[in-house]
Amino acid sequence: MTAHANAVAQLDLDAVADQLGRPPRGILAVMSRCPSGHPNVVKTEPRLDDGTPFPTMFYLTCPRLAAEIGTLEASGLMREMSARILQDPELAQHYRSAHEQYLAEREQIGHVPEIDGITAGGMPTRVKCLHVLVGHSLAKGPGVNPLGDEALALLGDWWTGNECGPVTT
């Protein structure tokens, strides 16, 4: 783990390790929490401790949410969204703006030449991964990533019936 990870509470690191089934890597902060209080999106280093470039700055960790998003992906939603980007100039510009903001924020953390200009999830020209887009929307709030916001809205009350219990200290 990086020196930055020391600022993240050990309880959160342990929760993320349980969610992922492996030790977390490069975590800088918890950006969003599920209703039980567990992390569901973390902000990560653009280069992991082992030197691996990591373009996914906002990484979704909640397995329940990931499964719900997987259902959306299986529905063909990504193809539909990608087609809409090509047909709707306003949507395309808003999505491009999300991409540019993502790059600027990641660049403030550190420059990684191998991923320069590359965000994640297919931004800015297509939709390749809804998990990334939803993670971006949860981390930054509504209005930043239009397609992440749409996917979140389609999930509705994804938490109902999926309570994993409260976080204990």
Write the pLDDT tens digit of every residue in 120-152.
899 999 999 999 999 999 999 999 999 999 999
Q: What is the per-residue pLDDT for 169?
A: 38
Q: Which of 112, 113, 135 is nearest to 123 (CA)?
A: 135
Q: Is residue 161 part of a domain?
A: no
Q: Is residue 169 part of a domain?
A: no
Q: Is residue 46 part of a domain?
A: yes
Q: Could you give the number of structural domains in the chain?
A: 1
Handedness of CA 124, 126, 131, 137 (dihedral sign): positive
Phi, psi angle pair for 41, to nearest 5°: -140, 130
Q: What 3-state DSSP class applies to 16?
A: helix
Q: Is residue 31 part of a domain?
A: yes
What are the DSSP E strand ranges found in the chain?
27-33, 39-44, 58-60
Q: What is the mean pLDDT of residues 53-58?
A: 95
Q: Is residue 101 part of a domain?
A: yes
Residue 1, pLDDT above cutoff 60: no
Q: What is the per-residue pLDDT for 43?
A: 97
pTM of the model: 0.89
Q: What is the mean pLDDT of residues 91-103?
A: 97
Q: Is residue 168 part of a domain?
A: no
Q: What percent of the chain has pLDDT over 70?
A: 90
Q: Is residue 129 part of a domain?
A: yes
Phi, psi angle pair for 29, to nearest 5°: -165, 155
78: domain range? 3-155
Q: What percent of the chain has pLDDT over 90?
A: 82
Q: What is the mean pLDDT of residues 58-71?
A: 93
Q: What is the mean pLDDT of residues 21-28?
A: 95
